[in-house]
Amino acid sequence: MAPDSTRPEILFERRGAAGIVILNRPQTLNAVTLGMVGALTRQLKEWEGDAAVSRVLVTAAGERAFSAGGDLRALFDLGRAGHYQAALEYWRTEYALNALIKRYRKPYVSLIDGIVMGGGAGISIHGSHRVAGDRFAFAMPEVGIGFIPDVGATWFLPRLPGELGLYCALTGERLGPADALAAGIASHRVASRRFSDLLAALCGNVPVDALLGAFAEPAGEGSLSARRPVIDRLFTGDSVEGILDALAAEASGQGADAEFARFIAASIRSKSPTSLKITLAQLRRGRNLDFAECMRTEFRIVSRLLFGHDLYEGIRSVIIDKDQAPHWRPSTLEAVSAAEVERHFQPQADELTLPSSDQ
């Protein structure tokens, strides 16, 4: 989607000891463009070398979203026009930014009071601190658009407690503030009404951890807390079909989790079969990979998905036509072979390279 020419897409401010980032595309739920990725990368490198900046604070304009993800419409247009290398440059640059944030030498605090998904998670979750406001809602819903959870999800989702990461990846369901804090997606819970005071305080020289500790409050119990045992039990399989079988067995009973299992199974069955199988393999492998190898794995997968069918069909159905009726190809899990899944993980000539400090 073309940027709104009347406003900058991303803003940077110096306030006291803080460098402040403001995602500034509220009309698109702060979807992250290539221009924003490049600008943020350059600014972070500058601040990292500036002794007067002791912490970075990331915020967002508007009340609905911190960032709902990447600029999918722009990627759709590039791919459909055959500009595959330009599309891959977006991911190459974005993944380098994710790695930069993960190894950043100064406190990197994201103040999240709204939706945070996909690319928005990539510019927040790898930072040192992630503050959840009242409207916080985290999700990685990529399998619903024929894609995979990326921006380092191969690293962070398998490292959530139990099978919660795989549950998030295969269902795209959202985590609210309490569940996100329990999972480690968020590091602190602060009431939205106190965000402006917190931001002002963080611009001083009081240590970040001390300030966040003073502002933080108990998150309470999330809606998923009672479901964690059944999630851990039903999502242990190494095949999507096996997980769906386990959900079906649970749904056929009379237990308290039967309705939950029915809902989750229906949600999974609506996603791209190819994406589901790749995502399961991706997260299982990610358990044993270092961060840099996780990023290289994602780039290999993306480099193949870009030439396929489901990514464009998924974006069409969700973003462009909004009919929510994608026609996946293949349309069944059974038709997605192990060899087809494995093809997406193979090394390629044009690998993602990250600076040695990101390894």
Q: Which amino acid is at 357?
A: S
Cβ neighbours around 326 below 10 Å, total: 22
Q: Which two tokens stand for residue 266?
A: 């229906």
Q: How many separate helices (H) and strands (E) can be counted in the chain?
A: 16, 9
Residues with active-site annotation: 70, 119, 142, 150
Is 35:86 a contact under the CB 8 Å cutoff?
A: no
Could you tell me the two tokens for 225?
A: 């807390």
Query: For residue 60, what are the β-bridge partners?
Result: 23
Evaluate the CA torsion angle 181, 185, 186, 192 in order and state its sign: negative
174: tokens are 């959202």
81: left (phi over 0), alpha (psi -120 to 50) or beta: alpha
User: Taking CA 91 as the corner, what is the angle to CA 329 and CA 127, rounded to the nearest 5 degrees?
Assistant: 120
* Cα 100 to the center of its chain, rounded Å: 16
What's the residue count for the chain?
359
Distances (CA, A) of 332 to 143, 166, 329, 343: 14, 20, 8, 18
* DSSP-derived 3-state class of residue 14: strand
Whether the Cβ atoms of residue 64 and residue 112 lie closer than 8 Å to each other: no
